[in-house]
Amino acid sequence: ARNIAEGDDGAVVIDNSSAFRYEKDVPLCVPEINAEATKGSKLIANPNCTTAIGLMALWPLHKLFDLKKVIMSTYQASSGAGQPGMDELKEGTRAVLMGERDVAENKIFAHPLPFNVIPHIDKFQENGYTKEEMKVTWETRKICDLPDDFPVSCTAVRIPTYRAHSESIVVETEKPVDIAAARKALEEAPGVKLVDDPEAMQYPMPLTATGQYDVEVGRLRKNLCFENGLEFFVSGDQLLRGAALNAVLVAEAMDKNGALKPKVEA
């Protein structure tokens, strides 16, 4: 990717892997947050799907209340492991329901996924977190231009659904939380769909988030543990906002801010 982007006549590369996300000279971009970071670089990194979905809700709240701490628990679909992961879930579920097995086989996931949840995504690190969990910490800090020691903690869990990741997020803020103001900020935020009417049983779910460009946000309430605390739930299609859609939006943002203007005339 670097070789393709090198030189005045090099192509713009928006890389969807994790290879360049933590390189200081490579912007890591969610365009609704830091599109301006793409100026001056032709190699742009796309964030981890879990990070991108969560930040769509966190960023408007950070601008409003100033985040102090972030605690996230994720509920990640089988398609996060690609088509083989979805196939293993489907076949394993079928085998159990047909009485062929008491417990499904597992080759893709660390344990059988049908009728189970697995608190293990990616490799465990020395600090006890998995790499998937640390991606959320590292990438949130970089995208939001937060200090290297800004506290972000994540527990990532694989669940037996096909598509769309969900996240329960608790934040402590520097400023007092106002639920009405938070709801208004989320309603007005691009790429966010407020789904927050518990009386009508409307809240974010993978079933309704699948196939949508916008990230659903709901279950907004003051957290009972922090004086200035807010708790909410999000669901987003990780194959769109967490990957392909984000890359397309990065390219569109670069076109608008002049980052795609050629330096060498043909």
**Per annotation, catalytic residue among 29, 62, 144, 165:** 165
User: Which of these, 52, 43, 53, 50, lies nearest to 23 by C-alpha position?
Assistant: 43
User: Which of these, 206, 78, 204, 70, lies nearest to 139 by C-alpha position?
Assistant: 70
Length of the chain in residues, anyone?
Answer: 266
Specify the DSSP element, H or E, that contains 255. helix 245-256
CA atoms within 13 A on the CB side of 40: 5
User: Which of these, 41, 38, 86, 26, lies nearest to 256 by C-alpha position?
Assistant: 38
Specify the DSSP element, H or E, that contains 235. strand 229-236
Provide the angle, in degrees to the nearest 10, between the axes of the packed helices 49-65 and 131-143.
Answer: 40
Rounded Cα distance between 21 and 124, Å, is 19
- Reading the block at residue 75, the tokens are 């509920």
Identify residue 127 by its one-letter amino acid code.
N
165 is catalytic: yes
49 is catalytic: yes
**Per annotation, catalytic residue among 49, 62, 144, 154:** 49
Q: What are phi and psi of 202, to 5 degrees?
A: -110, 120
Catalytic residues: 49, 165
